[in-house]
Amino acid sequence: MRKPQSPIPEAANDLPWAEFLAESRDKPWLLHLLAKRGAVIFLRYRLAYQRLSRLRPGQLRRLQRRLGLTLAGAALLLALSSGPILASPNNTITVDGVNCKLADAVFAANEDREWHGCSAGSGADTLNIIADLSLSSAAYDAPPPVESDITIEGNGHTIARENTIETFNIFGVQHNGRLYLKNVTISGGTSYYGGGISCRTATLTVENSTITGNAADEGGGIYVEESCSATVRNSTISGNTANYYGGGIGADNHATLTVENSTITGNSANDGGGIFGEDYSILTIQDNTTIANNTAADGGGVSISRDSTITVENSTITGNSATGYDGGGIKIMSSSTLTLRNSTISDNSAPFNGGGIHGVQSTITVEDSTISDNHANSDHGGGIYIYNGGSVTVKSSAVTGNIAGDYGGGVYAGLASAVTVQNSTISGNSAAYGGGILSDDNQTAVTVENSTISNNSANSGNGGGVYCHTGSVMTIRNSIIANQAADEDCRINGGSVTSEGYNIESGTSCGFSSIGDMQNMDPRLNALSNGVMTPKSDSPAIDGGNPADPGSGGDACLADDQRGNARDDLRCDIGAVEVQLSDTDTVVKDVTGAGTFTFGPTLVKIQVTTQGGLSQLSVQHHDGDHPNATRMNGQWWGITSTGSGFIADLDLPHNVTPDANAKVCKHVSSSTWDCDRDGSDADRVWRNGLSAFSDWSVGNNVGPNAVLLQTVSARSEPVGACIALWSGAMTLLAGVATWLGLRREADVGKGR
C-alpha cells in the first residue's frame, strides 16, 4: 500500500529546512495549512529566510525584538503574508548617503538583495538620489561596476569624489549591464579609463546631466570601449582632462557613441581635447551639439583614428585649439571617415596643418556646411587639409575666411589626394600660396564644378584663387574663378588646369579657352552673404552655364545649387548660385550680335535676328496684375531695349490649355493690349518679328487687335461672351441716356 504524501516538502540538509520543521511540528494549525499549500509556503519561507539573514546584524536584532520572534519565526510570518517579501515598491532604491550609500545601492540592485541598509533590487531598478553624495573611500564609497539594469535618478544632485589620495571613477558599467544616468552631476572621478564613467560591453545613457572635473589617462569624462553603446543627450561634458586620449569622451575598440543636443566644452587631452575615437568605433554628433573651446596637442575638438567613422550633423565645432601639432577643429587619420552635414566648423586653430579639419589617408565629406575663420598658423590648410591618398568632397557648402601661414588658405590637397568641390563658395581665404585652393604633389587631383572661388588672397604671384603645383591636376567646369582680393585667379606652377567649359575668370591666368568660357570678364557678384555670392542682375553668370539639362551628367550643370534650389531655368547659371526671383526680379543682357538671350528666373527668351543698333535688353518680372489690368494670368514682364533698328522674337511661359489659345500680348496704352502668336507648345508661346518692346503678358483665347486687358487672362471668357457683355453694356448706357433725357424734359415742364 502506497504511503500518503507528507504536507511538508522532502527533507533537505540545510539550516532553513531544520528551523522550518522546528516551527511547524508543534503547531497543528500550521500543519493543516501546509497540507493545502505546503510547497508554496516553503518556497516563500526560504526566500524570506535568505533575505532576512542578509540584513546587518543590528537591523536583524531590532526586527526580532520588535516581533518577538526568532529568525525562522520572522521568515515564517513573512511567508504566510500575502505581500511581497522585502521587495522595494516600483523597484526603487532610495539613496541618501547615510542609511543607504551609493555603493551599497548599486550592489543591492546588481544582486537583487538588500544590502547594508539599501532595499533589494528586482530586475530593472531605479536608484533615487535624494542628497548630494560625497565619496571619499575606494573601499567603502566607490560603487561596484553596474552589471544589471540600473537607472540613476539624480534629481539635480551631485555625486562627487572627494579630493583624496584614493582614485576611482564614479561609475563603471560592464558585462551587458545598462546604466541610465538622469539629472545628475558627476564630478571628481579619477581612473586610468573614464574618470567619470567607464563602459565596456554594456549600454550607457547620460541624459540631462553634467560630467565635469573628472580625470583619466583615457576618457577624462567618459570612456566607452569594447562594443559599448553610449548615448549622451541634453547634457554637458566640461572641464575634464585626459593624459592621453579624449579629454571629454574617449571611444575605443568597436564602441558606439552618440551625442545629441549636448555641449562638450573646456576639456583637454594630448589627443582629442573634446572627443577621441579609434579602432573601428562609430561616433555620431547631432541635434545642435556644440563642441567648443577644447584643447589638445592634436585634434583640439575631435580626433578620430584607425578605421573609425564619425558623422557630425546639425552641430557646431568652434573655438577649439590644437596646441602642439594639427587639426584645430577635427583631426581624422588612418582610413577613417568623416561626414559633416548641416554643420559649422569655425574659429579653430592649429600651429601647423588643418586649422578646421586635418585629414590623412581618410575620407571626408562636407555637405551643406560652413568651414569658416579657421587658422593653420604656420603651415597648410587653414580650412581643410587632406594628405597621403585621402579624399575630400565639398558639396553645397561655404569655405570662407580661413587662413594658412603657407599653402592653401581654404583647402590644401597633397600627396596623391583627391578633392571635389561642387556647388560651393570659396571666398575670403588667404595664404602665402593658393588663397582659395592649393593642389600639391604628383597624383593629386582637384575637380571644381558649379562653384564660385572669389575674393581670396595670396602673396604676389602665388595664386589668390587657386595654385596648381608640382604635377597636380585641376579640372574646372561651370565655375567662377574671378575677382580675387589679392593676386591672380590662378597660379600654375608644374601642375595643370583643364577647363571643361562654361567658366568665368577675370583675367587670363587660368587659361580658360574651352566652349562657353569667358576671360577678362567681371562676373559682377554681390558681396558674400550667408555663405554665397549671388550674381547681380547684369551678371554674365546668369544663364551662362552648359546648355545641357542640369543633372544629366558629363559636363552638364549639377541639378541643384548651393542653396538647394533647382537649376530649372531655361539655362543654368555659372557658379554656385542659381539666381532666383527673390535675389533679383530683373535680368540685364548686353547684346553684341544676333543670337538667343535668356533671362534667368524671369523665364523670358528673346531671339535677336537683326541687331541693328540694339546694345542691351532688360527684363523685369512682376507678380500679380498689371497697373492697367483687373484680370491677368498672374504675372507680366516689363521689357526695355537700348538702341533701335532691331528685329527680335519673344518667347514667354504660359499655362493656357489648350496651348493654341495662348497669345503674346503687348501693352499699347491705357487698358488696350495688342495680342498675337506665331506658335506655341505645352509650356511656351512666341511671337516673331518685333521691333519694339513694352509691357508683355500672355492672353487666353483673345482677339488680335486692341483688346481690352480684361480679356488677357487664362480665366477670361470666350470672345463671343465678351461681345455679348459689350453689347449689353452699350444697351444699358443707351437706356441710361434715354432715361436722363426724359427726366430732363420732365424737369423743364415743371419749370425747374
Cell of 743: 427726366
SS3 373: coil
pLDDT of residue 498: 98
How many whole angstroms separate alpha carbon 178 and alpha carbon 145? Answer: 10
Amino acid, single-letter form, for residue 270: N
CA distance 11 to 13: 7
Neighbours of 715 (CB within 10 A): 9
Task: Identify the pLDDT of residue 6.
Answer: 43
Measured in residues, the chain has a length of 752
CA distance 652 to 686: 6
**Helices assigned H by DSSP within 515-581:** none
Q: How far apart are CA 728 and CA 26, in angstroms?
A: 120
* Residue 670, pLDDT score: 86
pLDDT exceeds 80 at position 285? yes
Interatomic CA distance for residues 569 and 544, integer angstroms: 11
- Tell me the three cell numbers of residue 276: 577621441
Same domain, 698 and 594: yes
Q: Are 76 and 96 in a shared domain?
A: no
534, amino acid identity:
T
DSSP code of residue 89: G
Q: What's the rounded Cα separation, in Å, for the pair 467 and 495? A: 9
Q: What are 115's strand-pairing partners?
A: 118
pLDDT computed for residue 628 by the predictor: 81
Residue 689 has pLDDT above 70, yes or no: yes
Picking from 51, 80, 109, the residue at the C-terminal end of a domain is 80
User: Residue 630, exposed/middle/buried by CB under 10 A (0-12, 13-18, 19+)?
Assistant: exposed
Q: Which of 420, 411, 334 is nearest to 380 (CA)?
A: 411
- Same-domain status, 63 and 93: no
Per-residue pLDDT at 18: 60
Rounded to 10 deg, the angle between the 28-53 and 57-67 helix axes is: 160
- With contact defined as beta carbons under 8 Å apart, do 280 and 255 qualify? no
Residue 102, φ and ψ in degrees, nearest 5: -60, -45
Please say which residue of 144, 168, 192 terminates a domain.
168
**Mean pLDDT of all residues in 4-27:** 51
**Cis peptide before 658, with omega less than 30 degrees from 0?**
yes
Same-domain status, 132 and 153? yes
Q: Is 663 exposed, middle or buried (0-12, 13-18, 19+ CB in 10 A)?
A: buried
Q: Lowest mean pLDDT: which of 53-67, 113-127, 248-262, 444-458?
A: 53-67
| HEC readout, 569-620 | CCCCCCCCCCCCCCCCCEEEEECCCCEEEECHHHCCEEEEEECCCCCEEEEE
pLDDT of residue 209: 98
Cα distance from N-terminal residue to C-terminal residue, the chain:
144
Residue 108 in domain: yes
The answer on pLDDT for 8 being more than 50 is no
Cβ distance 163 to 185 under 8 Å?
no
Whether residue 52 sits in one domain with residue 68:
yes
Instruction: Write the pLDDT tens digit of every residue in 116-154.
Output: 999 999 999 999 999 999 999 888 999 999 999 999 999
Per-residue pLDDT at 701:
80
249 domain residue, yes or no = no
Residue 102 above 70 pLDDT?
yes
Residue 639 has pLDDT above 70, yes or no: yes
- Average pLDDT over every residue of 25-53: 60
Backbone angles phi, psi at 73, to 5 degrees: -65, -45
Nearest C-alpha neighbor of 640 from the set 588, 686, 595, 600:
588
Residue 90, C-alpha cell as written in the block: 516600483
pLDDT surpassing 80 at residue 75: no
Domain co-membership, 624 together with 676: yes
> Are residues 20 and 139 located together in one domain of the fold?
no
Q: How confident is the model at residue 700 (pLDDT cuts 50, 70, 90)?
A: confident
**What integer pLDDT is reported at residue 590 of this predicted model?**
97
Whether residue 375 is contained in a domain is answered as no
Q: Is residue 463 part of a domain?
A: no
Mean pLDDT over 184-200 rounds to 97
Tell me: pLDDT of 426 over 60. yes
pLDDT tens per residue, range 484-542: 999 999 999 999 999 999 999 999 999 999 999 999 999 999 999 999 999 999 999 99
The string of pLDDT tens digits covering residues 383-409 is: 999 999 999 999 999 999 999 999 999
Label residue 165 by pLDDT band (50, 70, 90): confident
Kindly state the percentage of the chain with pLDDT values over 70.
82
Q: Are residues 656 and 707 in the same domain?
A: yes
Boundary of a domain, candidates 168, 185, 215:
168
Contact call for residues 365 and 391 (beta carbons, < 8 A):
no
Residue 92 lies in domain: 88-168
Pick 582 or 747 by higher pLDDT: 582
Find the mean pLDDT for residues 543-558. 97
Could you give the CA distance from residue 255 to residue 669 in angstroms, rounded to a whole number? Answer: 76
Average pLDDT of every residue of the chain: 88
Strand partners, 392: 364, 419
Q: 63 and 120 share a domain?
A: no
369 assigned to some structural domain = no
Residues 695, 637 share a domain: yes
Domain assignment present for 564 = no
Domain shared by 33 and 100, yes or no = no
Q: Is 183 exposed, middle or buried (0-12, 13-18, 19+ CB in 10 A)?
A: middle
| Three cell numbers, residue 399 | 569655405
Burial class from Cβ neighbours inside 10 Å (0-12, 13-18, 19+) for residue 409 reads buried
Q: What is this structure's pTM? A: 0.83
What's the pLDDT score for residue 44?
65
Give the distance, in angstroms, between the CA of residue 677 and the centroid of all CA atoms in the same chain: 50
In the prediction, which pLDDT does 509 show? 97
Domain membership flag for residue 686: yes
CB atoms inside a 10 Å sphere around CB 361:
18
| pLDDT value of position 606 | 98
- Domain tally, the chain: 3
Contacts (Cβ under 8 Å, ≥6 apart) of 32: none
363-377 residue pLDDT tens: 999 999 999 999 999
Are residues 95 and 73 part of one domain? no
Looking at the domain assignment, is residue 465 inside a domain?
Answer: no
Interval 321-336: pLDDT, tens: 999 999 999 999 999 9
State residue 575's pLDDT score: 98
How sure is the predictor about 43, in pLDDT bands with cuts at 50, 70 and 90?
A: low
